[in-house]
């Protein structure tokens, strides 16, 4: 059983492989299937962008495709960067992006934020289905931890007193937005008889 994840992000692909490890399923990225076309993410929500990616690749390859769109939404900044998380300060490192967001949040008492992950499952000749996971936290006052990727080092989990960057993969993969959404996705795939 093969499942294509519509991503070229090696970190994201690794997380999916770990999450699907208990199942007899081969998880492939876009590079593995030589899909090189640029996909324009023109949606206004995480779900819309996930659907665009999943359906575009599924139609091109005529196979089962999972795509996600995820990002960091900072509540005091009107949920910025949100769907623009990956494109915010393009060309800069995530350490620089994180530093900029810490500065922008400084004037506010409310440091609450969330990571959202919307996952679309595109099955040829069937309606695309979407699931979503949200992981709530706060923007840390400094960049902490070398684990994870993206905005993980500034996403503080108040109950643990640590950023996601300090948690380690095993802990992260039991609570993250991608874990929560993937759990729903696996339930969906079991119901559809795709996996056992």
CATH number, position 25: 3.90.950.10
Burial class (CB in 10 A: 0-12, 13-18, 19+), 58: buried
Give the rounded distance of the alpha carbon of 124 from its chain centre. 23
Sole residue written with tokens 């999943």: 54
pLDDT at 24: 86
User: How would you classify the pairing of strands 26-28 and 2-5?
Assistant: parallel
Range of the domain at 23: 2-191
Closest CA to 130 of 67, 77, 63, 196: 67
How far from 45 is each of 49, 71, 92, 99, 172, CA to CA, in Å? 6, 10, 24, 25, 24
pLDDT at 111: 98
Q: What is the pTM of this model?
A: 0.91
Q: Please check whether residue 151 lies inside any domain of the structure.
A: yes
pLDDT at 196: 84
pLDDT at 82: 97
Q: Please check whether residue 99 lies inside any domain of the structure.
A: yes
Closest CA to 117 of 139, 150, 146: 150
pLDDT at 173: 86
Give the catalytic positions in this structure: 69
- Total domains in the fold of the chain: 1
Q: Please check whether residue 54 lies inside any domain of the structure.
A: yes
Q: Please check whether residue 196 lies inside any domain of the structure.
A: no
User: Which residue numbers in the chain have pLDDT < 70?
Assistant: none
Q: Please check whether residue 115 lies inside any domain of the structure.
A: yes
């Amino acid at each position: 059983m093969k499942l294509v994840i519509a991503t070229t992000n090696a970190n994201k692909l690794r997380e999916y492989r770990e999450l699907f490890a208990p199942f007899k399923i081969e998880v492939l990225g876009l590079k593995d299937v030589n899909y090189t076309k640029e996909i324009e993410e023109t949606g206004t929500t995480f779900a819309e962008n996930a659907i665009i990616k999943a359906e575009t690749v599924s139609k091109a390859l005529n196979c089962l495709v999972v795509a996600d769109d995820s990002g960091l939404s900072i509540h005091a900044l009107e949920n910025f960067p949100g769907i623009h998380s990956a494109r915010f300060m393009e060309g800069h490192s995530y350490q620089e992006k994180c530093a900029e967001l810490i500065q922008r949040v400084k004037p506010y008492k409310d440091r609450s934020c969330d990571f959202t992950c919307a996952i679309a499952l595109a099955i040829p000749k069937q309606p695309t289905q979407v699931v979503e996971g949200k992981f709530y936290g706060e923007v840390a006052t400094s960049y902490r931890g070398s684990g994870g990727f993206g905005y993980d080092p500034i996403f503080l989990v108040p109950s643990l007193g640590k950023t996601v960057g300090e948690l380690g993969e095993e802990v992260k993969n039991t609570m993250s937005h991608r874990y929560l959404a993937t759990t729903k996705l696996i339930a969906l795939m079991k119901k559809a008889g795709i996996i056992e």
